[in-house]
Structure 1
Amino acid sequence: MRPLLRLPLHSITSFYTIPRISLRSFSHSLMVKRKSEVLGDSFNIQPPSRIRKMEAQPITTTIELTSKEAQLKDLLLDVAKFINGSGSLEEPVVLRWAGGWVRDKLLGIPSHDIDTAINVMTGEAFALKLCELCQQPATIKKHVLAESDVGNLHKIARNPEKSKHLETTTIKLFGYDVDFVNLRKETYTEDSRNPQMEFGTAEEDALRRDATVNALFYNLNTGKVEDFTTGLKDMKSRLIRTPLEPFQTFMDDPLRVLRLVRFASRLEFTIDPAAEEVMGDRRVLDALRLKISRERVGVEVEKMLKGNHPRKSLEYFEKLGLYHTVFTDPTHSNIPVPDISNWKIAYELFDSLRQNKTPGSIYDALVRSDEADYYAWILVAICPWESVEDPPHVSGKGKQPPPFVTLAAREGIKASNKISDLATAAHNNRAEIMSLMMAVSENAPFISERDRFGMAIRNWEAKAGHWRVQVMYALLIEAMEVLAPDSAKSVSKDDFLHKWQLFLDHLQELDVMEAPSLKRLIDGNQLAKALGVKPGKWMAEALNVCIKWQLRHPEATDPAGAVEDVRSQRAELGIPGK
């Protein structure tokens, strides 16, 4: 007989931890709890009423499941049958797959995240029953369950400040990440985006969602897609529409503004004009600024910029007037407002370079990974701040404050320290990047000095990494200045790009593109020994002299010449005598 599946319980968040105890004993204790506790009291939501509301009949259609999806469906229906057979509930369990999976399935987009909505019990209660059933030999045999088919059970507790309004229980099943949650309806108050939650019907659950295309259900019991709004029609029209009146929808939860932008850009759908009209309403923007945590704003922006059509997202930010609400420091009311009139030049140019990538092209030379592409889009998003003068530094009162371009990333979307440091470096290094690019363009006498260019690149990389993305930033800032129709420096796009291509080709010819990874021929201890002195503060600059020598002598394998260079500059470097 096949051994029973072992299903350890543990938390993946700091919000809530399920104790590591026997599933069988836990399930037994669960069965003797008060019925209302199983149904919702312990999760701060109201259990379903004895008298259910009459639910509207949805428009339906069908979809074809894969073999794995059908296997998952059969298992979940057996769990529902197992629960219904216990006689503990007044109504039978009805299961629905909800939202994104249904939408993507209809669009032919693969998805491994499945939200399962349950009509009369909480997600945790259902998932525990699933775990109980999956340990029974008959279930293991019927569904041909392997150890890898059923993963660990997790519970993520409510955290309204992070837009998590209801506990969610999730488990890995047949390779899918399956979330379990009850159908619910929401009631909002005027001053908070954290709703009062209670059990609801499928129609009420659909109406509370951000967009009609995300409000579709696949009813496992009937095998039909259910549309309680206009989701199927809007899918055909490629339209992003709110299920309820747009203004109240956004005032209830202003984060929906950003979610609609994300889905419209990702799916290449059009946003309903009625929704567009109020997305930039000052009252909605103020609610977005005041009621939504910047971490949550950052999550949405990250998903947009990592998606397939980040340019479209930025276009919506400009078109709908969202820029100054998102890319800003909301904690300061007197922060400057950058001019975004030429911003379109930057994001359209970067997207054009990206779409027309060829070997050796500007994008190919400067963006070498998915991470670099995402970082570049962040810099594209905040580049209008480059024209704003740096915050003043009050002498003697701490460090120089970061430039506004950094604050827009750090405070506006709560970007990571790595991204914030990159924004600062791109800002600080731009002048030198421009200087060297112009030197190449004008064929300055020193452009054959390999050490000059190699050391500059090493310095850009040392400050925050991704020196190539910093060069792209400098290129885009200049583009905003010289490609604008009313620019006094106006040049053609072809001439502009040719100048930057010439610069990158020159760096390639000098063979300095990989200068940051140049391996030293001599380390600090060896250098000190060769000079007959102890290491000191002089060491860092002396090692730079060695690297410069290596860049001038790329074929060298003996560091003797580098040591002589250091020795000849002993006084300037502050190296003590023997």
Structure 2
Amino acid sequence: MLKRKSEALGDSPDISPPPGRVKMSAPPATIDIELTPQETRLKNLLVDTARRIDESGQLDEPVVLRWAGGWVRDKLLGIESHDIDTAINAMTGEAFALKIAEICQEPGTIEKHGIEDHDVGSLHKIERNPEKSKHLETTTVKLFGYDVDFVNLRKETYTKDSRNPQMEFGTAEEDALRRDATINALFYNLNTGHVEDFTTGLADMKLKLIRTPLDPLQTFTDDPLRVLRLIRFATRLEFAIDPAAEVVMSDSRVLDALRLKISRERIGVEMEKMLKGKHPRESLEYISNLGLYHAIYTDPSKTMSTPDISKWSLAYECLDSLRRNKTPGSIFDVLVRSDEAAYYAWTLASVCPWDNAGAPPHSGRRKPPPPFVTSVLAEGIRGTAKMCDLATASYNNRAEIMSLKTAVCQNAPEINERDRFGMAIRRWNDRAGHWRLQVLYALLVEAMGRLAPGSENPTSNDEFLRQWQLFLDHLQEIDVVEAPSLKRLVGGTQLFEALGVTPGKWMNPTLDFCLAWQFRHPEATDPSELIEEVKGNRAALGIPEKE
């Protein structure tokens, strides 16, 4: 059951809209849809709540409820959704949710709607944050397995002196016009049972077109994050973006607003959704073609030159080609082994151009600053610490990865030294894990240099991938791909007990010596043999004599 109890309905100071609301200019286009039994159950509870409010006589007009935006769009597309936004005409979302809390505790309501303890969750209020273009205050309740947001219908009024809108009660049409896209501006009227279209949403659904309800420049400058949201919807739904909107998405005024007005956290959330989606390549392609890269991938806390992104497409197109041509033992199959790894792979691909920017200058004894590829992730899109550690490791280890790959391709004498490769893989994996993705990062950075026409050391795509496949096949052949999980024959305690000395600086290099020996002797199972080897190299390892 809801944990918060309702106050008297008339006690809420913002329950009624102010006078002077604009009325709807024209009837909306409508169609019908069929609800599932569970959706019908939710609808009946909400309509029953609205009826109770009407009967109280507290409001000047009947309560009209509408399911809005994404749920309606997905319903028309046959996509199941458990997130439902409920727009209310005559009261705030919080006041309506509190009324639900009240009646759901009544025995009559519980019996009528078959409510069980797990059917109704707690009420959560999400405050508005206009400074970060979070203009809507919403109240969320878990009902019958759905996450239901409640908010009043709104209209936005912007002034020349403020980037933040004045939020007022509005009509359904005004609420529809302030949304990011016409396909997200559809309503399902719970009172009539019809889908209502106050813009061109139904027609655009048929055309598979992403279009803004108002003039694109107004839509995007009001909330620049809508630029990224439209890209996400276009790639997720495989719709096209209206050419008129695309032109404005590249406008310098919109890019400046996106860079300065929107919090980096919100930008990061949109990018994560895109790169975890089914079409990450198309998302990055939109960002490239529309000139959005430098507004997204930047560190706003630093003044830095922008990287050359003219060859960036080679990186994300290469990754997409590897994904599409995945077969057992192929490059993608070996290097990308989970959904999480796939997301990390696309994130690394998105910042590949920053690799050539290197690292900020460093002087003094303090810890050196992270490379630009890391700071762009950390500050530009608020990547997680784990993601940033992976970016730093990928940047720092790329030279060694390339050196070993070159040795394999040139059939150098040392390529069968298992300890050389095994210990390198363990080093790559020590801090950030995901050594495979570090190898993939090196591949993608090299792709930007070697696959571009006119590059210093050009190669064909087939030959380029053949070389990397040869490298990975060699790691399989010498059996080092699982090097990070190699179990030690001898631990630290065994060592200092066997050697008769206390732990000291000698420990780490000696433990590494032991692991390297294990890679050279994969069949060894007797720790005493390894300990004797350590004793024989006591001086070289800096191990003191027995105490």
TM-score under structure 2 length normalisation: 0.97
SS of the residue aligned with 1:571? coil
CA drift at 1:540: 1.5
Please tell me whether the aligned partners of residues 21 and 171 of structure 2 are also in contact (alpha carbons under 8 angstroms): no
Residue 415 of structure 1 aligns with which residue? 383
Match of 1:59 among 29, 53, 58: 29
Match of 2:336 among 352, 358, 367: 367
Distance 2:285 2:189 in 1: 37
Distance 2:70 2:91 in 1: 22
CA drift at 1:429: 0.4
Q: CA RMSD in A?
A: 1.6
Residue 376 of structure 1 aligns with which residue? 345
Distance 1:358 1:319 in 2: 30
Please tell me whether the aligned partners of residues 545 and 562 of structure 1 are also in contact (alpha carbons under 8 angstroms): no
Residue 493 of structure 1 aligns with which residue? 461
Distance 1:187 1:194 in 2: 9
CA drift at 1:266: 1.3
Distance 1:425 1:134 in 2: 54
CA offsets per residue over residues 51-80 of structure 1, 9 Å max, x none? 652442111111111111111111111111
Distance 2:211 2:128 in 1: 27
Question: Is 1:356 the equivalent of 2:325?
Answer: yes
Query: In the comparison of the two structures, how many residue pairs are matched?
Result: 546
Residue 110 of structure 2 aligns with which residue? 140
Residue 292 of structure 1 aligns with which residue? 262
Residue 3 of structure 2 aligns with which residue? 8
Change (3 A) 1:462 1:193: farther
TM-score under structure 1 length normalisation: 0.92
CA drift at 1:235: 0.9
Question: Is 1:210 the equivalent of 2:186?
Answer: no
Residue 83 of structure 2 aligns with which residue? 113
Question: Is 1:537 the equivalent of 2:498?
Answer: no
Please tell me whether the aligned partners of residues 24 and 173 of structure 2 are also in contact (alpha carbons under 8 angstroms): no
Change (3 A) 1:483 1:294: same
Residue 445 of structure 1 aligns with which residue? 413
Question: Is 1:260 the equivalent of 2:230?
Answer: yes
Q: How does 1:275-314 map to 2 (within 5 A)?
A: 275-314=245-284
Identify the range of structure 1 (546-555 vs 102-111) with the bigger mean alpha-carbon deviation. 546-555
Give me the identity figure in percent. Answer: 70
Distance 2:88 2:494 in 1: 69
Question: Is 1:195 the equivalent of 2:171?
Answer: no
Please tell me whether the aligned partners of residues 162 and 295 of structure 1 are also in contact (alpha carbons under 8 angstroms): no
Residue 15 of structure 2 aligns with which residue? 39
Identify the range of structure 1 (167-176 vs 556-565) with the bigger mean alpha-carbon deviation. 556-565
SS of the residue aligned with 2:470? helix
Please tell me whether the aligned partners of residues 250 and 256 of structure 1 are also in contact (alpha carbons under 8 angstroms): yes
CA drift at 1:238: 0.9
Counterpart code for 1:137 = P
Structure 2: gaps spanning 5 or more residues: none
Identify the range of structure 1 (215-224 vs 146-155) with the bigger mean alpha-carbon deviation. 146-155
Change (3 A) 1:493 1:471: same
Distance 1:515 1:7 in 2: 52
SS of the residue aligned with 1:572? coil
Question: Is 1:400 the equivalent of 2:387?
Answer: no
Distance 2:127 2:407 in 1: 58
SS of the residue aligned with 1:171? strand
Counterpart code for 2:398 = R
Match of 1:549 among 505, 517, 521: 517
Match of 2:356 among 374, 382, 387: 387
Identify the range of structure 1 (54-63 vs 79-88) with the bigger mean alpha-carbon deviation. 54-63
Please tell me whether the aligned partners of residues 9 and 99 of structure 2 are also in contact (alpha carbons under 8 angstroms): no
Change (3 A) 1:191 1:338: farther
Please tell me whether the aligned partners of residues 30 and 38 of structure 1 are also in contact (alpha carbons under 8 angstroms): no
CA drift at 1:190: 3.9
Match of 1:239 among 209, 216, 220: 209
Please tell me whether the aligned partners of residues 488 and 515 of structure 2 are also in contact (alpha carbons under 8 angstroms): yes
Counterpart code for 1:211 = A
Please tell me whether the aligned partners of residues 299 and 379 of structure 2 are also in contact (alpha carbons under 8 angstroms): yes
Please tell me whether the aligned partners of residues 353 and 363 of structure 1 are also in contact (alpha carbons under 8 angstroms): yes
Change (3 A) 1:264 1:569: same
SS of the residue aligned with 1:111? coil
Residue 457 of structure 1 aligns with which residue? 425
Residue 14 of structure 1 aligns with which residue? none
Please tell me whether the aligned partners of residues 24 and 172 of structure 2 are also in contact (alpha carbons under 8 angstroms): no
Counterpart code for 1:472 = L
CA drift at 1:486: 1.7
CA offsets per residue over residues 35-58 of structure 1, 9 Å max, x none? 6x1416xxxxxx242665244211
Please tell me whether the aligned partners of residues 186 and 198 of structure 1 are also in contact (alpha carbons under 8 angstroms): yes
SS of the residue aligned with 1:169? strand
CA drift at 1:549: 1.6
SS of the residue aligned with 1:408? helix
Counterpart code for 1:368 = R
Please tell me whether the aligned partners of residues 22 and 170 of structure 2 are also in contact (alpha carbons under 8 angstroms): no
CA offsets per residue over residues 221-278 of structure 1, 9 Å max, x none? 1111111011111111111111111112211111111111111111111111111111
Distance 1:113 1:469 in 2: 34
Please tell me whether the aligned partners of residues 68 and 86 of structure 2 are also in contact (alpha carbons under 8 angstroms): yes
CA offsets per residue over residues 384-434 of structure 1, 9 Å max, x none? 1112243211x2162222111112211211111111111111011001111
CA offsets per residue over residues 258-306 of structure 1, 9 Å max, x none? 1111111111111111111111111111111111111111111111111
Question: Is 1:506 the equivalent of 2:484?
Answer: no
Match of 1:427 among 371, 387, 395: 395
CA drift at 1:455: 0.7
CA drift at 1:161: 3.9
Distance 1:188 1:52 in 2: 16
Question: Is 1:471 the equivalent of 2:471?
Answer: no
CA drift at 1:193: 4.0
CA drift at 1:555: 2.6
CA drift at 1:191: 5.8
Distance 2:142 2:203 in 1: 32
Change (3 A) 1:51 1:212: closer
CA offsets per residue over residues 316-338 of structure 1, 9 Å max, x none? 111110011111112334x1111
SS of the residue aligned with 1:197? strand
Distance 1:52 1:189 in 2: 18
Residue 19 of structure 1 aligns with which residue? none
Residue 8 of structure 2 aligns with which residue? 30
Please tell me whether the aligned partners of residues 311 and 448 of structure 2 are also in contact (alpha carbons under 8 angstroms): yes
Distance 1:428 1:565 in 2: 32
Q: How does 1:164-175 map to 2 (within 5 A)?
A: 164-175=134-145
Counterpart code for 2:216 = P
Identify the range of structure 1 (139-148 vs 177-186) with the bigger mean alpha-carbon deviation. 139-148
Change (3 A) 1:55 1:399: same
CA drift at 1:131: 1.5
Identify the range of structure 1 (239-248 vs 54-63) with the bigger mean alpha-carbon deviation. 54-63
Distance 2:365 2:333 in 1: 43
Counterpart code for 1:549 = W
Residue 178 of structure 1 aligns with which residue? 148
Distance 1:464 1:310 in 2: 23
Change (3 A) 1:275 1:50: closer
SS of the residue aligned with 2:525? coil
Residue 320 of structure 1 aligns with which residue? 290
Residue 44 of structure 1 aligns with which residue? none
Distance 2:156 2:258 in 1: 19
